[in-house]
């Protein structure tokens, strides 16, 4: 996540009429992020981003291929007018999600759902690359990118960039890639918000709570359970207490139908003793299964492989959350759990 292209990005957005009351720095956890450059009162403007600086990469109902190809077109075009924006995107080795995670990590999910999800992405991108997608596909590579050579790695990268950086607004339901705003890191409880982007040519990022100069500016990407955050964004959110079950382990969630608007309950499970016993058995079975699955890669020294560390940390958090919820049910039932 380079910071050297930021000055040119800010100058470009301001030249197009934008306002930015923020700056970019590396945060305490080592990630690039957005920080208030002055005190901003509640409802004050963090940034106002002109439409001309925003990349509109598709509609909410279109397939993944549209944002992927729209991003790729700008990335491949040496004369793109978005050059100040594309220059600050993370480099291909600086971001990871299901679009571009190497297949050697697939078995580290230890979850049928997420393994299939990653294989599906691989398959879709390979199909797009070969031109064998079904007739419902909106664009071919040549239609959008022309004759420029495109590798499968290019598609994986463009897919990862678009899916980790787009946003849509309540009124304007497009996939929007908005510079400056897209530098805000996730915090589930974050109060800062986007305007509806419906009455002017500016997308406004507003302070939902007062900001002091130097505060990191967050945005809530949604309820994001750990496994969902790793698959979609390639990071682990702040650890919470009580530990949150992975999306795939949650009792009332089919991960395939997860929506930010209707996230699974945050409350520990409760019910009749019979229901609690059944739930405890269900969680125990998952716990034992995850514990029993062998590691698919040899151990790596911490700090040498970001994705390996991320997947191991995800597994450790998943097991810790299962242990907590199993023990919670056991104590409500007045028994002891045999982990």
Ligand X SMILES: C[S@@+](CC[C@H](N)C(=O)[O-])C[C@H]1O[C@@H](n2cnc3c(N)ncnc32)[C@H](O)[C@@H]1O
Neighbours of 39 (CB within 10 A): 14
Residue 254 CB neighbours (<10 A): 11
164 lines the binding site for ligand X (CB under 6 A): yes
Whole-angstrom Cα distance, residue 221 to residue 4? 26
CA angle 145-146-151, nearest 5°?
A: 60
The one segment of 102-110, 232-240, 285-293, 297-305 that binds ligand X by CB under 6 A: 232-240
Q: Which stretch binds ligand X (CB under 6 A): 106-114, 136-144, 172-180, 229-237?
A: 229-237
Element (H, E) at 87: none
DSSP state of 264: P
∠ CA 307-309-314 to the nearest 5 degrees? 95
Which window, 79-87, 179-187, 278-286, 298-306, contacts ligand X (CB under 6 A)? 179-187
Binding track over 233-272 against ligand X, x by CB under 6 A: xxx-x-----------------------------------
Determine the Cα–Cα distance for residues 20 and 263; give it in Å rounded to an integer. Answer: 32
Q: How far is the CB of 221 from ligand X (least distance, A)?
A: 7
Assess 31 for contact with ligand X (CB under 6 A): yes
CB of 226 to ligand X, least distance (A): 12
185 near ligand X, judged by CB under 6 A: yes
> Least distance in Å: CB of 32 to ligand X?
3
Size of the site for ligand X (CB under 6 A): 16
Report, in Å, the least distance between residue 185 CB and ligand X.
Answer: 3
Distance CA(316)–CA(81), nearest Å, equals: 44
Helix/strand/coil (H/E/C) assignment for every residue in 160-207:
HHHHHHCECCCCCCEEEECCCHHHCEECCCCCCEECCCCCCCEEEEEC
Interface mask toward ligand X for 33-62; x: CB under 6 A: x-----------------------------
DSSP string, 116-158: HHHHHHHHHHHHHHHT---TT-S--HHHHHTTS---HHHHHHH
Q: What's the token pair of residue 20?
A: 């930015």
175 binds ligand X (CB under 6 A): no
- Pick one of 23, 74, 154, 182: the residue that binds ligand X (CB under 6 A): 182
Return d(Cα 174, Cα 166) in angstroms, integer.
Answer: 9
Q: How far is CA 7 from CA 23, 30, 117, 252, 304, in A?
A: 9, 20, 38, 46, 31
Query: Residue 131 or residue 214: which is nearer to ligand X going by CB?
Result: 214
Q: Does 165 bind ligand X (CB under 6 A)?
A: yes
Binding residue for ligand X (CB under 6 A) from 5, 17, 19, 32?
Answer: 32
Does residue 75 belong to the site contacting ligand X (CB under 6 A)? Answer: no
Stretch that binds ligand X, among 29-37, 51-59, 285-293, 294-302 (CB under 6 A): 29-37
Closer to ligand X by Cβ: residue 32 or 116: 32
Residues of this chain that interact with ligand X (CB under 6 A) are 1, 31-33, 90, 95, 164-165, 182-183, 185-186, 233-235, 237
């Amino acid at each position: 996540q380079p910071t050297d292209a930021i000055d040119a990005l800010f100058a470009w957005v301001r030249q197009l009429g934008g306002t930015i009351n923020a700056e970019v720095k590396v945060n305490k956890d080592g990630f690039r992020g957005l920080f208030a450059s002055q005190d901003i009162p509640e409802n004050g403007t963090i940034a106002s981003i002109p439409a001309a600086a925003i990349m509109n990469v598709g509609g909410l109902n279109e397939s993944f291929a549209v944002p992927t190809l729209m991003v790729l077109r700008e990335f491949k075009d040496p004369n793109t007018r978005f050059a100040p924006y594309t220059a600050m995107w993370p480099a291909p080795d600086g971001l990871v999600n299901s679009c571009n995670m190497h297949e050697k990590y697939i078995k580290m999910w230890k979850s049928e759902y997420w393994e299939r999800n990653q294989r599906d992405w691989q398959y879709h991108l390979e199909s797009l690359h070969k031109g064998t997608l079904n007739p419902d596909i909106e664009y071919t590579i040549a239609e959008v990118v022309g004759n420029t050579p495109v590798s499968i790695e290019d598609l994986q990268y463009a897919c990862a960039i678009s899916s980790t950086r787009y946003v849509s607004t309540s009124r304007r339901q497009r996939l929007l890639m908005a510079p400056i705003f897209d530098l805000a890191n996730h915090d589930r409880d974050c109060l800062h918000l986007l305007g509806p982007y419906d009455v002017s040519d500016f997308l406004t990022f507003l302070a939902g709570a007062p900001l002091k100069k130097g505060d990191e500016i967050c945005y809530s990407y949604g309820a994001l359970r750990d496994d969902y955050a790793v698959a979609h964004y390639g990071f682990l959110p702040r650890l919470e207490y009580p530990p949150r079950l992975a999306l795939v382990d949650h009792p009332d969630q089919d991960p395939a139908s997860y929506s930010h608007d209707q996230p699974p309950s945050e409350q520990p499970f409760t019910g009749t003793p019979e229901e609690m016993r059944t739930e405890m058995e269900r969680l125990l079975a998952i716990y034992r299964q995850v514990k029993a699955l062998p590691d698919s890669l040899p151990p790596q020294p911490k700090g040498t492989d970001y994705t390996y560390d991320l997947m191991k940390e995800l597994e450790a958090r998943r097991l810790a959350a299962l242990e907590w919820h199993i023990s919670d049910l056991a104590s409500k039932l007045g028994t002891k759990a045999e982990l």
